[in-house]
Chains A and B, each alone.
Chain A
Amino acid sequence: MAPKLPPQHSLQHSSTAAAGGHSHHDHAAQPKGILRWVLTTNHKEIGSLYLIFSLTMFFVGGIFALVVRAELFQPGLQLIEPEFFNQMTTMHGLIMVFAAVMPAFTGLANWMIPLQIGAPDMALPRLNNFSFWLLPVAFTLLLSTLLMPGGGPNFGWTFYAPLSTTYAPASTTFFILALHIAGISSILGAINIIATILNMRAPGMRMMDMPLFVWTWLITAFLLIAVMPVLAGVITMMLMDINFGTSFFDAAGGGDPVLFQHLFWFFGHPEVYIMILPAFGIVSAIIPTFARKPLFGYASMVYATAAIALLSFLVWAHHMFIVGLPLTAELFFMYSTMLIAVPTGVKVFNWVTTLFRGSISFEPPMLFALAFVVLFTIGGFSGLMLAIAPADFQYHDTYFVVAHFHYVLVPGAIFAIMAGVYYWLPKWTGYYPNERLAQCHFWCSIVGVNLTFFPMHFAGLAGMPRRIPDYALQFADFNMLSSIGAFFFGASQLMFVLVVVMCVRGGKKAPAKAWEGAEDLEWSVPSPAPLHTFETPPVFNRTHHHD
């Protein structure tokens, strides 16, 4: 008997599942117009809100990045002052991490998790609405600090004390408040996702039958629950240091600036995985679909994700190899960091083996997923290099690190989000995205991403520190290339907006099962997915198409 793989299944439709729920009592008096969106408790509408918000913020953060790249186009100070430059690098990081990548994943989770597990909605719909609307509040507040006297946060998205406490601009209190609100939003979102996944699965669907996107989000949500309170704790301590005369991080009062870094990275490293684990889930859905072959090593994938999540709590001080840790600590964190490469490698091997002897086609979601595998792996390689503590003494705080984490986050997290959007757009809108435009978007993005970030490896190795507004002449060529690439990449993303807008308005009609090889539960409801699905739980059968 061949072993069975779970996410391959068929669905017995209950007769009402696809019929939509216009008559459902909860939704009898639905508000119209703008209020409908403000008050909505529907997971699909909230999902869309999250995605629209995150796309907007992606452009805001992107413009900040372009301001930075424009200044760095040539040596010398041409366009902006160092003070504003620091605010731009800081805001770019904060916005991209907390307002673009994280909400995008939450948006995808809102849309897809109920569809993938056969639930009618999220477990806590009203909380869902609240956690979304906290985000615009938080980031309006954060962006408004740029207009305050003394300017906005200028201490980097890692806001190391005492630069962010004793020496910070007056607006820092508002920055802390904004981060608190964003943190609460993430936490509430995580609670909702956990409650949904654990309690709302269709009858017959066991944990190990869940699609990997659901699995990776479950693990991500647990990570959020574990580390967002730590972030809240750290910024609360900062707040107290700034306003109430404590000295958690102030050596003058017996505190320790290094403690800040320990606490921050205890949050920060799992945070990095929060931004990549759902991406693993998306890619693990797309590759089998377009290779028309079941995912290789489903169980390994789940376990590897859990192992990565667990290990992420044991490696934080690899961000701190040069703060003067004792030798033993340095060795411990070097070893644990190197080990994290193992489960990550397992994932890459699994994806490649899924492709092996498949029947592969290259629709836009697949293109982005394949680019993810290659470029994320390159980011993984530079991560492995950074794990070697003595070598990190040279890499640390240089553009090599900038190149590393942008490879992991841009063609990593962001490409996976775009892959997910292209993959699920037919389900959301009922139309296929424009193939040629999407292809064009893909190839431009690939060129842009590599042109922007690849030269940064060289600039870093040659000795360019990060977060500097001006640089020595030997770095000029690399920076010019990076800046050209950044503007090209930024402009290419307008095509993405165009594809999405066009797809919402019309295009080639998509059937319920929009992709030939797609297997998960969401493809059993019509395209576009009606506002209310699975109001009568579907019966989940584990059958195996490929046996």
Chain B
Amino acid sequence: MHLSWQWLLTITSAFSITQAHANSWNMPVGVTDISQDIFGLHMAIFWVCVVIGVIVFGVMFYSLFKYRHSKGEKAANFHEHTSVEILWTAIPILILVGMAVPATATLKSMYDSSEADLDVMITGQQWRWRYEYLGEDVAFTSNMSTSRAQIRGEEARDEHYLLDVDEPLVLPINRKVRFLMTSDDVIHSWWVPELAVKQDTIPGFINENWVKINEPGIYRGQCAELCGVNHGFMPVVVHAMEEEEFEAWLAERKEAAEQEAMGVDREWEMEDLMARGETVYQTICSSCHQSEGQGAPPAFPALANNNQLISDLDWHMNRVINGVSGAAMPAFRSTLNPVEIAAVVTYTRNAWGNETGDVVQPATVAERIAQ
């Protein structure tokens, strides 16, 4: 049974590898051993269905054609035949057992996440992904970078429409990477078809999965579980690179994080904060509070001309740093650094007619986050 399955796998993948990349009709073969196994299973069960379908529908359409009343056909009168019935129960059971064996084997290898070389924590958040390289002090959020103008059709849509992010997850090839997955709010599902990883991220709970990528490249996917308004705008991009290249990237990111940390202590000019703040606002905040701060009440309140926000700096900072429990407003203390928080608070307090003149320094924010 196992042999015949291997055989099926070989022809089916030979079938599709020729058209693997241009193929937008079928499941991708993918770039991991697991994804290729899954593709084999998929094609095997598909052909089993096709064969059964041809036989059953063949008999059916033959009967419809042959035994027409209009041709004066007289009906027979049999209505049971135990041995035939036993036969057509037994054969499907055997076929199913034949499918269950390779499926079990694949499933078992998917569940074996031991001996990983790298751990990445993936956190779903309405509506972005956060990636943390555990033990490496590198962490960032990944937001969709397709512009609103493209979605509204005001601009030409580019090739990776809705599937582009500002910061892809970077992974090394040929190394076993373990994913730990959770969520800050509702259930999301992290999915990259070419890696054959689809796993729910569940608030308060941790899920595990792993991947070992065989080929460098850029692999795109999306959130697969309905998670609210912007469920459709939460892409996943994985950039798989050679191991040395990955090490270099990681070192660079660490250095950049240190640079950023030094920025906390210096005194910032309002202009710089505003410029930085606008970038942060447009990538992080505008998906809910809209690009001009007009919001989308009642779910997403307006920030422009918001009296409470204008009058109460402390309240405003608390909102951004600690979030609102049970609402889409996350606690940004763990996902943005003090410079970014200071910048975005300064920006929202001085943009769209919110002319408070307040300048919030990163040092003040840092003090509030970690005392």
Contacts and interface: CB of A to CB of B under 8 A. Distances in A.
Interface of A: 3, 5, 75-78, 82-83, 86, 149-150, 154-156, 160, 162-163, 166-167, 169-170, 251-252, 256-258, 290-300, 322-324, 327, 330-331, 334-335, 338-339, 341-342, 345-346, 348-349, 352-361, 370, 373-374, 377-378, 381-382, 384-385, 388-391, 393-394, 396-398, 458, 461-463, 465-474, 546-547
A184 B72 CA distance: 51
B368 interface: no
Nearest to A292: B75
A359 B64 CA distance: 9
A349 B204 CA distance: 47
Contacts of A352: 56, 59-60, 63
Interface stretch (B103-111, B241-249, B310-318, B348-356): B103-111
B76 A150 contact: no
B63 A374 contact: no
Given A327-B111, A359-B67, A390 B92 contact: no
A338 to B, nearest CB: 5
Contact of A334 (B49, B107, B204, B233): B107
Given A322-B200, A341-B92, A342-B92, 10 more contacts: A83-B229, A166-B186, A251-B202, A331-B104, A341-B96, A345-B92, A357-B63, A357-B75, A358-B63, A396-B189
Interface string B334-356: 00000000000000000000000
Nearest to A296: B79
A286 B252 CA distance: 71
Given A361-B70, A461-B25, A251 B57 contact: no
Interface string B59-73: 110011001111001
Contact of B42 (A322, A334, A346, A385): A385
In order of increasing CB-CB distance, the 10 nearest A-B pairs are A251-B204, A468-B232, A361-B69, A381-B49, A324-B207, A357-B76, A359-B75, A397-B224, A546-B77, A293-B75
A19 B152 CA distance: 67
A163 B187 contact: yes
Contact of B106 (A257, A354, A390): A390
Nearest to A385: B45
Contacts of A349: 56, 85, 88
A162 B89 CA distance: 42
B80 A299 contact: yes
Interface of B: 24-28, 34, 37-38, 41-42, 45-46, 49, 52-53, 56-57, 59-60, 63-64, 67-70, 73-80, 84-85, 88-89, 92-93, 96, 99-100, 103-104, 106-108, 110-111, 150-153, 157, 159-163, 185-187, 189, 191, 193, 196-200, 202-205, 207-208, 220-233, 296, 298-299, 325-328
Given A163-B228, A470-B151, A322 B69 contact: no
A75 B67 contact: no
Contact of A384 (B45, B191, B230): B45
Given A338-B99, A390-B38, A394-B196, A258 B326 contact: no
Contacts of B38: 390-391, 393-394
B154 to A, nearest CB: 10
Given A77-B151, A324-B199, A358-B76, A394 B193 contact: yes
A316 to B, nearest CB: 16
A470 B156 CA distance: 15
Given A360-B69, A390-B110, A463-B28, A322 B96 contact: no
Nearest to B80: A297
A374 B157 contact: no
A68 to B, nearest CB: 12
Given A163-B226, A468-B232, A293 B77 contact: yes
Given A291-B75, A361-B68, A465 B299 contact: no
25 contacts: A160-B226, A251-B204, A251-B205, A257-B203, A257-B205, A295-B79, A297-B79, A298-B79, A322-B224, A324-B200, A330-B111, A355-B67, A356-B63, A358-B73, A388-B99, A388-B103, A390-B103, A393-B110, A394-B196, A397-B191, A397-B198, A462-B26, A463-B222, A466-B224, A473-B159
